[in-house]
Amino acid sequence: MAEILIFNASPRAPRSNSRLYAEIFTKVCRIKTEYFNITKTNHIELCGKVNGFSDLLFVFPLYADGIPATLLNFLKSLETNPPGEKPVISVLVNCGFLEPSQNDTAVEMIRLFCRQNGYRFGSALEIGGGEALPATPFMRLTARKIKKLAECITAGKHRILHTTMPLPKRLFVKASVSYWVNYGKKSGISEEEMRTLRIEGK
Amino acid sequence: MKLILSDRPLKLSAAEADGVKYFDLSELKIAGCTGCFGCWTKTPGRCVIRDDAVNVYPAIAESSCVLYISRIKYGGYDTVMKTLLERAIPIQTAFIRLLDGETHHYQRAVAPKKAHVIAYGDNICADEKAVFSRLVARNAKNMNFESYRIIFTEESGIESAAEEVLKKWRKY
C-alpha cells in the first residue's frame, strides 16, 4: 500500500519548524500520510507502525552538524526492531544557516543507515535559511520545494532537493541579527547581553 | 587547557595524563538538548538544564587542545558524545557571521583548538569513515578547530591511540 509515514525527530517536535514543514508536506501530498513525533519513550511503538508503509519520511533539524540525538537514538531502536517489509526512507532536514548544503552530512548519515540496514534511500530536501524562515515571504519557495519532495516520493523518482532564502549572505546575516534581537527582547534580554563572551558567568 | 572527553572509561598512565582535564561522559548525567534557545536568548552562555553538562562545555571553551573519543554510529558520534556536543551550544551565540564564505554562529570566549578525534568501532567501513570525516570537517568550522586529526580504531586500540595524542600534546 502506497502510504507515507512521517516521523518528526526534532527535540522540540510539537512546536518545531520541522512540524510546520511536515504539515505542509501532508497538505500537498497526494497519497495518505500519517504523522508522529519521536519522543524518548515511544520508539518501540513507532517501530511497530512502520510495517505496511511504502515510504518513511524523517523530518528534523540539523544539530551539531549531523542528525539530532533524538533521531540517532530512534534509528538504533529501528535497527533492533526492524519492520517485516522495509519502506523507502526519505528526509526533510532544515538548518539555521543560509546554505542548505550544510545539511549534506546529515543526509549522508541517513544514507549510511539505509545501506547498513537494507533500506532503499529515497529523496531528500535540504532547507537552509534558519529559524526565521517560516515567518518570511520566502516560505512560499520552501512550500513549493516541499511539494516537489512529495511528488518525488509518490512517483518514486527520487532526487536531492535544496532550498533557502534567496538573499545575499551579508543581508542574511543582518536579517538574522534583527530576528534574534527581537527574540531576546521577548525575554527582556538585550543584544549586548546576548552577545556576552562569558560562559556560565565566567 | 588540554581536555579529553570520552564516552567510555579510559585507562591512561598518570605521566601522560598529567595536566590534562578528563571527563568520562558515560559517568555523567547529561540530558538531551531541548532546542529551547534559552542559552542564546534567556540566560546567554548558560544552559537552562542544570545537569553535568554545565561543567563540561566551559572546559571545551577554555581548551586549546581537545581529544574526543567516541564510538562511531551511522558515520557520526554515538549517543553519549553526540548528546554532550548538542548541549555545548551555550558557548556560541545566536548571531551569525561569515566564515570561509559560509554562515556560522559567533563563538563566545572559545579558544581555537587543535583537535584530535578517536572514532572507534568494529570493522569501520570506508563509507562510514568518509561520512565521519566530512562530519568532523563541518565540526571544525562550528567548534573552532584550527586543526584536526581523526584516528579510526577498534575499541581495543583506544588507549594506545590516546597516549600517542597525549605525547604530541607535550609540544604545545
Res A165 pLDDT > 90: yes
Give the pLDDT confidence of B27-37 residue by residue, as tens digits: 999 999 999 99
Measured in degrees and rounded to the nearest 5, phi and psi for residue A32 equal -65, 140
Domain count, chain B: 1
Banded model confidence at residue B111, pLDDT cuts 50, 70, 90: very high
pLDDT 10s digits, A56-84: 999 999 999 999 999 999 999 999 999 99
Decide if pLDDT at B17 tops 80.
Answer: no
pLDDT surpasses 70 at A1: no
Nearest to B88 by CA among B136, B46, B116, B117: B46
Whole-number pLDDT of residue B13 = 77
Select the residue from B103, B108, B138 to test the A interface by mutation, using most A Cβ atoms within 10 A: B103
Burial status of residue A157 (CB atoms within 10 A of its CB: 0-12, 13-18, 19 or more): exposed
Give tens-digit pLDDT for A134-152: 989 999 999 999 999 999 9
pLDDT at position A176 is 94
Q: Give the closest-approach CA distance of A43 to chain B in angstroms.
A: 15
For A17-34, how does the pLDDT look when each residue is reduced to its tens digit (9 = 90+)? 999 999 999 999 999 999
pLDDT for the residue A57: 98
Domain that holds residue B8: 2-169
Q: What does the domain layout of chain A look like in residue ranges?
A: 4-166, 167-202
Opening angle at CA A20, ends A16 and A24, nearest 5: 160
- Do A124 and A90 meet the contact criterion of CB atoms below 8 Å apart? yes
Say yes or no: B170 contacts chain A, CB-CB below 8 A: no
Contacts of A196 in chain B (CB under 8 A): 44-45, 93, 108
What pLDDT is attached to residue A190? 98
pLDDT beyond 70 at B126: yes
Does residue A144 sit at the B interface (CB-CB below 8 Å)?
A: no
Region class of B44: left (phi > 0), else alpha (psi between -120 and 50), else beta: beta
Helical residues (DSSP H) of A50-138, grouped into ranges: 69-80, 104-117
Report pLDDT for B18: 75
Rounded to two decimals, the ipTM of the complex is: 0.96
> What is the mean pLDDT of the segment spanning A105-132?
97
Q: Which residues numbered 26-45 in B keep a CB inside 8 Å of some CB on A?
A: 32-37, 40-42, 44-45
pLDDT digit string, tens, across residues B64-83: 999 999 999 999 999 999 99
Distance of alpha carbon A110 from alpha carbon A99, whole angstroms: 19
**Of residues B74, B90, B95, nearest to A113 (C-beta):** B74
Task: Find the CATH number of the domain harbouring B50.
Answer: 3.40.50.360
Q: How confident is residue A189, by pLDDT bands cut at 50, 70 and 90?
A: very high
Residue A104 has pLDDT above 70, yes or no: yes
Confidence tier at B15 by pLDDT (50, 70, 90): low
**In whole angstroms, how far apart are CA B105 and each of A2, B95, B143, B158?**
41, 6, 9, 32
B102/A99 CB distance under 8 A: yes
At residue A184, φ and ψ (nearest 5 deg) are: -65, -40
B73 CB within 8 Å of a chain A CB? yes
Q: Which CATH architecture has domain A4-166?
A: 3-Layer(aba) Sandwich (3.40)
